[in-house]
Structure 1
Amino acid sequence: MTVDVIILAAGLSRRMGVCKALLPWQQGTLLDQACKVYGQLGGQQLVVVGQASKAMSQIARSYGFQTVVNEQPKLGQGHSLALGIRALASLASKENPVLCAVVDQPLVTAHMVQTLVAAYEVSGTAQTIICPLYGPSKERGNPVIFGAYWKQALQQITADCGGRYILQGIGKPYIRFVEIKEPAGVDVDTPSEYEQLYDMWGKL
């Protein structure tokens, strides 16, 4: 099936102190890694960028992603998500589900993404929302697949909570959880978190 993709990469990285999307990871950056993982789903592909937008746009385009610049990243993740969904509205089929990912989860693999897509495909409804549960603790995380029904609501999000506005509200009855046995939903938020993950998996 065809799934549109939005990667959110416009955060201010306050705790990290530098642009997270451009941190080294394997043979590229965290943004390279995200584009590789999420770039095989057949739909429109978009990265929402903020600081260092020129460098990030160059990377994104090399993987076939388009970019939209969040000129007000301080407004938070919800604003970035709404911008991305609005940009997709002029590019993609209204019937496509949309996968919403973040740039700072480098342990998520393409196989995990395909598991989520397969779960959505089985559901067969435009109202379905697919959320992963990672590891033995079954921790909720990203990416999340929203059926086409939710695109209009996603465009209206203004809060920093992003898609959680829907997941914890009107969308809650429509969530289907998919268990991923690996604890791969780790966000890279601080230098120590990044260093630990890089030392274990980010080197080649």
Structure 2
Amino acid sequence: MNVAILMLSAGSSTRMGSTKQLLPIGNKTLLGLSIENALQTNAKKVFCVLGSNAENIKNSISQYDIEIIINPNFKEGLSSSIVEGLNHIDNTNFDAVLIMLSDQPKIDSNYINLLILSSEKHPTQIIASQYEKTIGVPVIFPKKYFKQLQQLEGDKGAKDFLNIHKAQVISIKSDKLIDIDTQEDYLNFLKSL
């Protein structure tokens, strides 16, 4: 199965107060760690959508074998990055896209591969991550959903879309689903290492 990873990293980190993607974690950055995890999976290619502070972030990840997509509309919210990414890969031969965020550092290659394996077993289903009461990213969408996803608007990303298509979703539980949104989240994550 030919899966592309679409890593969303275009936001302006308003709650963090600094460029979240560049936060140091060991000798890497938050975004660098997420990219390394993505590159160690069974996905065929990793795309990274940048927007706010794109040049600085792009320079910080230049060593990785990924393709950068610039989202000029990043201020319109998460959905604009999904749309920009899918517009970019729409005419390629990928069977599915795995959408993930760059601020979930505990999402490792094992978990991503688990999602990909589930997608290979159920190629027509959406494979989503199960939070306590919701489903969300990382999520794999088969190609048949690309056109609908390209119509998304707003800052909810694919959340409403997933809820509408709940009958087509297989959800996978994990304890790795933490986001780094604030300084407190970041410090707590560093303490957990």
Fold shared by both chains (TM-score > 0.5): yes
Gap runs ≥5 in structure 2: none
Q: CA deviation at 1:139?
A: 5.8
Q: How many angstroms does 1:108 deviate by?
A: 1.0
- State percent identity of aligned pairs: 27
Please name the residue that 1:33 is paired with. Answer: 33
The question of whether the paired residues in 2 share the 8 Å contact of 1:25 and 1:198 is answered with yes
Distance 1:22 1:81 in 2: 21
SS at match of 2:137: coil
How well do the aligned residues superpose, as a CA RMSD in angstroms? 1.7
Q: Give unmatched runs, 5+ long, in structure 1.
A: none
Among 181, 192, 198, the alignment partner of 2:184 is 192
- For 1:139 and 1:81, locate their aligned partners in 2 and report how far apart those are by CA, in whole Å: 19
Aligned partners of 1:123 and 1:140: how far apart in 2? 17
Describe how 1:132-147 pairs up with structure 2 within 5 A.
132-133=129-130, 137=132, 140-147=135-142
The answer to whether the 8 Å contact 2:21/2:31 transfers is yes
Question: What secondary structure does 1:195 align onto?
Answer: helix
CA pair 142-102 structure 1, distance change in 2 beyond 3 A: same
Letter in 2 for 1:173: A
- Partners of 1:160 and 1:138 lie apart in 2 by 19
Aligned residues: 192
C-alpha separation in 2, matches of 1:13 and 1:149 = 32
Counterparts of 2:133 and 2:2, CA distance in 1: 27
Equivalent position SS for 1:98 = strand
SS in 2 for 1:168: helix
- Which amino acid in structure 2 is aligned with residue 113 of structure 1? I
**Structure 2 CA distance for partners of 1:138 and 1:162, relative to 1, 3 Å:** closer
Q: Give the distance between the partners of 1:178 and 1:83, measured in 2 at CA.
A: 26
Equivalence for 1:68: 69
76-85 vs 53-62, which moves further = 53-62
CA distance in 2, matches of 1:76, 1:11: 8
**CA drift at 1:61:** 4.1
CA offsets 1:100-139 (integer angstroms, 9 cap, x no match):
00010001111111111111111132xx1001225xx476
